[in-house]
Structure 1
Amino acid sequence: MSPGEKLDPIPDSFILQPPVFHPVVPYVTTIFGGLHAGKMVMLQGVVPLDAHRFQVDFQCGCSLCPRPDIAFHFNPRFHTTKPHVICNTLHGGRWQREARWPHLALWRGSSFLILFLFGNEEVKVSVNGQHFLHFRYRLPLSHVDSLGIFGDILVEAVGFLNISPFVEGSREYPVGHEAPCSHALPQGLWPGQVIIVRGLVLQEPKHFTVSLRDQAAHAPVTFRASFADGTLAWISRWGQKKLISAPFLFYPQRFFEVLLLCQEGGLKLALNGQGLGATSVNQQALEQLRELRISGSVQLYCVHS
């Protein structure tokens, strides 16, 4: 995308809910809108060196007692001589006939990317880009509304997508835009307005910058993430840098979500759901902003203001 080219508005209906980063296991969350054919759940993480087993459960509810039905139970096991995966369904408190898959493409101490692709009659599971198994539903997919992750696993990210990008002919999954790009702010910014930027960090990132510019191309405020030294900073229009004291939550080939909340006298920043503080900008300057400018080592999927 050329520096002067505008980024067309991209509908983010393909994103069910914001991605979750580094949740504490055991972890249970609601799947917004439930499950139906075409939806996809992405799981990124690491198998600990001493792992015995972990499980990913697509549940019909999240109660502890009675235990909810589990439409799809995905259970890698590492403590046996031949690591394998068990899949099953829990209905009415009883496990059904289990299915076993050998040749598990997961290893202790290794990172992984697992995709659960939900079709009309079965779920397909890929591990590290390779198809691994498919499991035919025994309970209606429409009953599933919760995701549970348990056991020996370090979860880095959980993503929820409305339409699988691998469905042939699908038009609802947008094509990512390479930075740099810009997004018009025809009426400036006002208190209560939220800017949302969602995207993917590239393989070998150098920096990521979000700046707000007025009609004279001045940038009263800029947010910058520097991958070389792992720092986050606000940059003033005169080039002054103010470091943000917060964890660096950008990772190569990981999804991210940046939120900028406009308030009286400044902007609040959140990254992947975590507040990172604020910067001061007078209200007159905020009202005169006309362009959101994004550059750096990222691919953009959604820009809203």
Structure 2
Amino acid sequence: MTFVAPPGYQPVYNPSIPYLGPIYGGLREGSSIYIQGSVPEDITRFYVNLLCGQSDNSDVALHFNPRFDGRDKVVFNTRQNDNWESEDKIRSMPFRKGERFEMVILITSQGYQIRVNGNDFHMFPHRIPVERVGGLEIAGDVAIQTINIIGGGMGGGYPGMGGGYPGGNMGPVPYQGMIAGGLSPKRTIIIRGMLPYGASRMAINFIVSRTGDIAFHLNPRLNEGLRDSTLMDKALYLTMCFLFYQMSIRCGNQRFKVFVNGQHLFDFFHRMQSFNEIDQLEIKGDVQISYIHF
């Protein structure tokens, strides 16, 4: 069984550059744009634009432009009525030539908070109402693996989610879904999603629906640091306190293996003898889900 979010919540994979695409439902406070990519060794510059429309001549609410020109910097700006406004130049470079990156644009009431590789980089204040944003443009010396827009203006729930909904009204998930046939050795559960800015905790439960018993409980508590690390080691905390893009939980004969963004983080040994009775997945807390595959 696979849950795939409706248009506007589905990630874009390996788009050709230059890329120009819509942001369904627009943006608002609490929305997030997650971009995973890499820059070549011979990079000179690339840019990410949030457009007030869906054409490359639209007004630009946010222009994010890293420049490798001997005096490396990142330029922020806006464009209205075909006129560029005053630049914000940040003489610091969060990207490294020839390396991969993860970038998040968090929409706050004050402006666009930019994070690169888990670190806050710059807050660019709103000059144009964020409600006008309707498109995303990426061009220049960059390769993009994933674009994921979470928490846009589209509201409501969606069939097949067991009462949950990704983004939409930005509430808690919760998600409950049956795992047809139960768990078995080598079966993998894939969850894609994001922890929004300010998230404090989430929970993933594998349940035996017949009894209600929880066979596996994963509960990162992001506002408690490492004080409760029963199921969460330091690597998991450091990964998930920023965001997660993809989590894979693989069932084996003796244990669950947990991976986040391709990195093996920990194993959890079965405490129930009949793990094949596990037939329900539950996700709760401050998390937004775009894809689930059983």
TM-score normalised over the length of structure 1: 0.53
**Partner residue of 1:113?**
102
Q: 1:197 to 1:108 in 2, by over 3 A?
A: closer
Aligned-partner Cα distance in 2 for 1:171–1:74: 26
Instruction: Name the amino acid aligned to 1:144.
Output: V
Instruction: Tell me by how many angstroms 1:135 deviates.
Output: 0.6
Distance 1:300 1:17 in 2: 10
The answer (yes or no) to whether the contact 2:190–2:246 under 8 Å persists in 1 is no
| Cα separation, 1, equivalents of 2:75 and 2:13 | 26
| Cα displacement (A) at 1:83 | 1.2
**Distance of 2:247 and 2:26 partners within structure 1:** 23
Cα 1:111/1:176, change in 2 over 3 Å? farther
Whether 1:77 aligns to 2:67 is yes
Please tell me the root mean square deviation across aligned C-alpha atoms, in Å. Answer: 3.9
Query: What whole-Å deviation, never above 9, does each CA across 1:231-269 have from its counterpart, x for those lacking one?
Result: xxxxxxxxxxxxxxxxxxxxxx75499xxxxxxxxxxxx
Give the C-alpha shift of residue 121 in structure 1: 2.5
Say whether the 8 Å CA contact 1:20–1:158 is kept in structure 2. Answer: yes
2:36 corresponds to 1:47: no
Residue 172 of structure 1: CA displacement? 2.8
Q: Which residue matches 1:199?
A: 192
Q: How many residues align?
A: 186
Distance in 2 (CA, whole Å) between partners of 1:127 and 1:55 is 14
Kindly tell me: are residues 53 and 176 of structure 1, through their superposed partners in 2, closer, same or farther at Cα, counting changes over 3 Å? farther
Contact 1:198/1:300 (8 A) holds in 2: no
- Give, in angstroms, the shift of residue 197 of structure 1: 6.7
- The aligned residue for residue 50 of structure 2 is 58
1:146 to 112, 118, 135: 135
Higher strand fraction (1 or 2): 1
Paired AA for residue 44 in structure 2? H
Q: Corresponding residue for 2:268? A: none
TM-score, with length taken from structure 2:
0.54
CA–CA distance in structure 2, aligned partners of residues 112 and 92 of structure 1: 32
Alpha-carbon spacing, 1:292–1:24, altered in 2? closer, same or farther (3 Å): farther
Give the fraction of aligned pairs with identical amino acids, expressed as a percent: 28
Residues 4-52 of structure 1 show CA distances to partners (whole Å, capped at 9, x for unaligned) of xxxxxx9979x94200111000001110110111000001100111111
Larger Rg: 1
Post-superposition, which runs of at least 4 consecutive aligned residues in structure 1 deviate over 6 A? 10-13, 291-294
Q: Which residue does 1:156 correspond to in 2?
A: 145
* Structure 2 partner of 1:35: 27
